[in-house]
Each structure stands twice: as C-alpha cells, then as structure tokens.
C-alpha cells in the first residue's frame, strides 16, 4: 500500500495537515520522527523514497520562489455522474482538502539554475496522482505554452493510472498528452522527465515516456501496470512490479539517481539542451597539420594499440560538462556505444562514440563492437541532435559491428542502415572523427558527417586487412601488404578525398601522450564545428549528398585505381580476382574503369 505525507505547514486551502506516522517500505523502520523523511520524504535509515507533494517537489527541484502556477482554473468534471460508495464529487472535494491542491498536477513556469522552463508536477496525494480530464488538459496547456515560448518542458511524475471515475474521458487523456508531446518534438523543444515514486499507468504510458531525457529516482516503483493491476491479472509472475533500477538495466531511462541528487542533474541537462552559438572559424587558431605521416601496416598497429585513448577518455577530456544518455528505449543498453549531452568549448553538442574500453573482445565493451541495441541508441541520439538543433560529434573506433547470429536476428543490418539514413537526414552541423580503427559498415554507421576527421595514426577500411588478405589471396599472413594496397591509413584517405583533415598526434602516437592528443583533437574539433556550422541545414544536407556522389568519379591523380593500389604490393586486384574465380570454376568479370555517373545522370549502358 502506498503511503504519503505532508509537512506540518498551512496549505493553500487553509487547512493544517500534520505528518502521518508511516513505516518505511524499504527497511520497515518507523518514520514518525525521521528528520530526513520530514525534509524530502526519504527514510533516514535506508534512503527509500516515499511520495511527496507537488509543492515539495517544486521546492526540491526548482529555483526558490521561481514557480508561477498557470492553468489552475481547469477543474475535474463528472462526466459519468459517478458514484461507488461515495459520489465522485465528494471524493474530489476530500482530495482538495487533504492535499491542499486543486488537482493531481501543478503546472506553470519556473527556473532551473536561472534558466526558464515550463513544468508539470504530479501530486500522488490527490487520488493517487491519477489522470483525468483536468490533469490531461493542464499538461497539454503547459506543453503548448512551452512550444510557443520555446522553453524546455519538465515533467515530474508520481501517478497511478487513468481516473476510473471519469471512464473513457480519463483514458483519452493519454492520447491528448502524447499528441501535445509530439508537437513539442516537431517544434524542437526538449522534454525532460523525472520519474518519481511511484509512476505507473496512463501517465507513464503517455507523456512521461516521451522525454528526450528521462531520469528516475532511486528505488522508485515504475511500470505500466502497478501492483494492484497485476494482482487482478494474477499472471503467476514472481515479481509484482518493476523499479527504476530495472528500467535502467533495460535501456528505458537515462539515469537513476537518489532524490537529493535530482536537482543538480536536472540543472545540468537544462543547460546542455539549449542551442548555443557556434564558434567563429576566423577567430580560432589556424589548423595544425601533422609534421609527417606514415602509411601501411605500422599505422594499423598504432591504431590498434591497447594504450590508445578510447572514446570515453576523449569525451571526458574534451567536454566541460557531460551527461551520459543510456538505452535504446527498446529493452537494452549497449556499453559499446556511448553518448550523451556535452559542451565542447562554448558549444553544446550531442556526442556519440564507439567505446572499446579495455580493448578485449570478451570484456563488457566487446572491443567496441556495437550490437543492434547500440545502433538503435546511436540513432536515438542522432535524431535528438537534429530535433534540438545541437551539433553532433561522433567518435569512431571499432574493428566492426558485433555480428553474431543473434545480432543478425535482432536486426543488425537494419539498425546500421537506420543510422546511415538518420545521418543523411541531419540538418544540424555534424563532425565525425576516427580515433583508432574504422572497420567496415559498423564504423561507417557513425561516420557520414559534414566534416570527417582522422587522427594521423587512425585507419579505415572496407574490411580488416586480415579479412581482405583471406578473401583476395586466401592467406591472412599477407595482411600487411594488403593494408598498404587498400590505402587504409589516414594519409591515404585524405589523399583519396574521403577525409577532410588529419588531426596531429604527439610523438609516438596518442597512446604516448593521451592528454596532448586530447588537446590537439579539441583544437581540430572546434575548427571543424565552426566550418560545419556554415550555411543552412538544407545546404549542409545537400553538400553531404553531393560529396558522396562525387567520390570515386575521378580517375588517376588523387584517386588512384584499385589496380594501381595493389601494384605497389606486387599484385593487381583484377588478376587476383580472376585467378580466384577460375579456381572456383567461374569466369572473370571485365574490369570496370568507367567513371561513376554524375549526380542526376544515368549509368552508361554496356
């Protein structure tokens, strides 16, 4: 059974409400004289939360005296003239008197860290925080206010399901508030949700789950079906409900924090979702080019060095503030794909990276091999960047996607394709930097951007040199000569026109001086962000598309032919493929030396 309390102060109806003696649901101690419980509703012995009033949540999360209530005139109707043991109207009046609130949600404006927001704060004491017409209408009004004012919308939820006494009128508030949330998404207005204890039913299954960033309080009971509903269903399940920690493990929320830490996290997030002015490229220091670059197998070995800084190390070094966002919102969080909100210089950004961690295949990060859940999370963050018009920065470092049979069954190819499509549709500035190994389509899924950078000792290949040697020569030992022939080193790809610029590294490589490497990368990233920010979103998108169509059309000079590449290794691709096909009983195909068609032109018939 849920218990609630209110501190002994006069409420808005002029009725004195004294604290109720309750027992902690976590450890069972008596909370009657618990000071921490009186202050913010937490058990002083174990930290377990109990529901608190909307007024207490407002005091806890927002700047002092900044809340200005709006839409309080919306009251609950009685469309069914409902009565069980008592008329619904009497229950509403009792809820108003006992809670001191007019409804189960308080809406208005406030500030967080001095930044204005529009808020909707639930009150579980008012008929279990259930959603009826008045709750839905107030929340929808507040969301429309946020849309018009272009202010972040913050929802603090502590609620049961739809209010039964209003029947289908109450249930349809789910659709109303979800539609209002969609209007915010379309307008590029951020939605931030704090899931408080308890959050269940219609509120959780509507506007609460629409948050761009969702934070849950520790030990909070959260789920679509609460304990009483599950008791009716009696499915024989061992557990009657889920808690915040379960949702975090399932990739459904971004963070689980103790109640007393929620304000700081909310303040950081509100600051980071605000679009900022990109740097002026003319005011930045000139770009620094590597003094010398190598090619071939030595670069492959440096790119794979176990001491090389990983994506998270760069993110933590480069971002003045970083708030990780977790989960694919579909049941999983892949630690091989990291990302969140950050600030590079004075620019708020969304960052996404492939995290190799300890660079061991059987570690938690699987050597940076991203699963379908990871690519779903990446797409979520890419689309968030575009919706909020925050520049996107991606860090690429993976030998390839995690391509087990189970991953294939869970849609690996489709999730990679979805990331590529999301990057193609971006209108916000984007920068990609290859910091280690770029392996095949698994790396390409995060690479297509307005500006593509590579650290001077990074590599990128259509497949691993070992795999290419096995395919072309049926001999993995020939990987070094194939690496040089395929031009996998950063210098080769710059010459090929695939990469916009190389990022210098300290002597001995990034692994020799990670701090120095981060400083060099920060300078290059800030310049790339400034260059990518030029023009309108539609122009950026068109430039990316035109560049992709141009790549590979030229012959000779900067773009060497595949046969020329392999000639340096003593073999021609065409003759090798011909030999393989003959050994398999097939016929060699003619060498296609004709240039690809220009954009809009049809291929030449042969």
Alpha-carbon distance 488 to 471, whole Å? 16
Angle between helix 311-318 and 514-532 (nearest 10): 70
153 lies in the same domain as 202: yes
Nearest 5 degrees, angle CA 440-CA 508-CA 359?
45
Indicate the residue among 239, 272, 305 that finishes a domain.
272
Q: Helix (H, G, I), strand (E, B), or coil: what is residue 338?
A: strand
In a domain, 146, yes or no: yes
Q: Work out how many domains the chain is built from and give that number.
A: 3
Burial 560-595 (b: 16+ CB within 10 A, else e): bebbebbeebebbbbebbbeeeeeeeeeeeeeeeee
Task: Give the mean model confidence (pLDDT) for residues 390-411.
Answer: 93
Q: Using an 8 Å Cβ cutoff, are 197 and 50 in contact?
A: yes
Asked, for residue 20, whether it belongs to a domain, the answer is: no
Classify residue 7: in a domain, yes or no.
no
In this structure, the dihedral spanned by the alpha carbons of residues 256, 259, 264 and 265, taken in order and rounded to 10 degrees, is 20
- Structural domain span for residue 393: 281-369+381-406+422-551
In this structure, the answer to whether residues 456 and 473 fall within a common structural domain is yes
Residue of 232, 248, 234, 60 whose CA lies nearest to 158: 60
Q: Is 174 in the same domain as 102? A: yes
CA distances from 177 to 104, 137, 185, 188 (A): 15, 8, 12, 17
pLDDT tens per residue across span 210-260:
999 999 999 999 998 755 555 555 565 555 678 999 999 999 999 999 999
Coil, helix or strand for 488?
A: coil
pLDDT digits (tens, 9 = 90+) for 404-453: 999 899 999 999 999 999 999 999 999 999 999 999 999 999 999 999 99
**521: part of which helix (H) or strand (E)?**
helix 514-532
- Domain with residue 235: its CATH number is 3.90.226.10
Does residue 113 fall inside a structural domain?
yes
Rounded to an integer, what distance in angstroms lies between the CA atom of residue 280 and that of residue 284?
7
Q: How far apart are CA 78 and CA 524, in angstroms?
A: 63
Is the residue at 244 inside a domain? yes
- Determine the Cα–Cα distance for residues 160 and 223; give it in Å rounded to an integer: 10
Residue 41 lies in a domain: no
The pTM assigned to this predicted structure is: 0.85
* Domain presence at residue 104: yes
**Whole-angstrom distance, CA of residue 438 vs CA of residue 413:** 17
Q: Output the six-digit token pair for 292.
A: 């010398």
- For residues 290 and 206, membership in a common domain is answered with no
How long, in residues, is the chain?
606
Give SS3 for 375: helix
Place of tokens 């018939």: 605
pLDDT for the residue numbered 561: 36
586-599 confidence digits (pLDDT tens): 443 333 333 334 44
Which H helix or E strand runs over 351? Answer: strand 347-354
Residues 112 and 257 in one domain: yes
Same domain, yes or no, for 446 and 574? no
On whether both 545 and 563 belong to a single domain, the answer is: no
* Residue 343 · residue 384 · CB < 8 Å: no
For residue 111, count other CB atoms closer than 10 A to its CB. Answer: 18
Considering the domain architecture, whether residues 313 and 455 belong to the same structural domain is answered as yes
Plot region of 492 (φ>0 → left; ψ -120 to 50 → alpha; else → beta): alpha
**Pick from 272, 301, 326: which residue ends a domain?**
272
Domain-ending residue, one of 244, 272, 300: 272
Number of CB atoms found within 10 A of residue 277's CB = 9
pLDDT digits over 110-134, tens only? 999 999 999 999 999 999 999 999 9
Q: What is the pLDDT of residues 275-289, one digit of tens each?
A: 988 888 888 888 888
- Per-residue pLDDT, 43: 87
Contact (Cβ atoms closer than 8 angstroms) between residue 337 and residue 355: yes
CA atoms within 13 A on the CB side of 78: 10
Residues 252 and 329 in one domain: no
State whether 103 and 221 are in the same domain.
yes
pLDDT in the model for residue 229: 55
Q: Which of 420, 464, 419, 418 is nearest to 438 (CA)?
A: 464
28, 245 Cβ separation under 8 angstroms: no
Is 486 domain-assigned? yes
């Amino acid at each position: 059974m849920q218990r609630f309390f209110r501190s002994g102060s006069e409420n808005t109806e002029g009725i004195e409400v004294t604290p109720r003696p309750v027992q902690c649901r976590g450890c069972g101690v008596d909370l009657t004289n618990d000071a921490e419980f009186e202050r913010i509703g937490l058990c002083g012995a174990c930290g377990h939360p109990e529901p608190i009033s909307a007024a207490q949540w407002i005091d806890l999360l927002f700047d002092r005296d900044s809340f200005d209530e709006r839409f309080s005139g919306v009251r609950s109707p009685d469309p069914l003239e409902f009565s069980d043991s008592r008329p619904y109207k009497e229950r509403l009046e009792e809820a108003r008197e006992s809670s001191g609130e007019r409804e189960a949600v308080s809406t208005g404006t406030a500030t967080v860290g001095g930044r204005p927001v529009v808020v909707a704060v639930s009150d579980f004491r008012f008929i279990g925080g259930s959603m009826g017409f008045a709750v839905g209408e107030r929340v929808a009004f507040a969301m429309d206010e946020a849309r018009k004012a272009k202010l972040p919308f913050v929802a603090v939820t502590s609620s049961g399901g739809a209010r039964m006494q209003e029947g289908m009128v109450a249930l349809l508030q789910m659709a109303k508030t979800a539609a209002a949330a969609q209007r915010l998404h379309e307008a590029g207005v951020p939605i931030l949700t704090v899931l408080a204890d308890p959050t269940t039913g219609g509120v959780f299954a509507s506007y609460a789950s629409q948050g761009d960033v969702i934070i849950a309080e520790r030990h909070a009971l959260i789920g679509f079906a609460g304990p009483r509903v599950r008791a009716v269903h009696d499915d024989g399940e061992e557990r009657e409900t889920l808690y915040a920690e379960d949702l975090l493990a399932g990739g459904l929320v971004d963070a689980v924090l103790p109640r007393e830490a929620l304000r700081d996290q909310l303040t950081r997030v509100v600051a980071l979702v605000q679009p900022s002015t990109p740097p002026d490229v003319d005011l930045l220091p000139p770009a620094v080019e590597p003094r010398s670059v190598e090619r071939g197998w030595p670069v492959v070995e440096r790119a794979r060095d176990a001491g090389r800084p990983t994506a998270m190390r760069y993110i933590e070094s480069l971002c003045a503030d970083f708030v990780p966002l977790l989960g694919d919102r579909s049941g999983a969080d892949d630690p091989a794909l990291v990302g969140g909100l950050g600030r590079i210089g004075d620019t708020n950004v969304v960052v996404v990276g492939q995290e190799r961690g300890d660079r061991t295949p059987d570690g938690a990060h699987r050597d940076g091999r991203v699963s379908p859940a990871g690519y779903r999370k990446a797409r979520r963050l890419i689309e968030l960047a575009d919706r909020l018009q925050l520049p996107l920065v991606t860090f690429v470092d993976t030998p390839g996607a995690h391509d087990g049979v189970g991953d294939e069954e869970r849609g690996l190819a489709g999730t990679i394709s979805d990331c590529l499509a999301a990057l193609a549709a971006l209108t916000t500035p984007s920068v990609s930097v290859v910091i280690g190994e770029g392996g095949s389509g698994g790396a390409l899924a995060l690479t297509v951007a307005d500006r593509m950078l590579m650290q001077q000792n990074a590599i990128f290949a259509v497949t691993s040199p070992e795999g290419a040697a096995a395919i072309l020569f049926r001999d993995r030992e020939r990987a070094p000569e194939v690496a040089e022939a395929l031009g996998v080193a950063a210098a080769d790809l710059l010459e090929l026109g695939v990469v916009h610029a190389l990022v210098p590294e300290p002597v001995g490589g990034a692994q020799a001086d990670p701090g120095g490497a981060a400083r060099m990368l920060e300078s290059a990233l800030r310049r790339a962000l400034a260059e990518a920010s030029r023009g309108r979103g539609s122009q950026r998108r068109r430039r990316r598309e035109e560049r992709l169509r141009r790549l590979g059309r030229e012959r000779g000079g900067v773009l060497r032919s595949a046969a020329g590449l392999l000639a340096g290794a003593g073999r021609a691709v065409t003759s090798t493929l011909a030999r393989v096909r003959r050994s398999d009983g097939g016929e060699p195909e003619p060498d296609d030396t004709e240039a690809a068609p220009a954009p809009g032109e049809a291929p030449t018939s042969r």
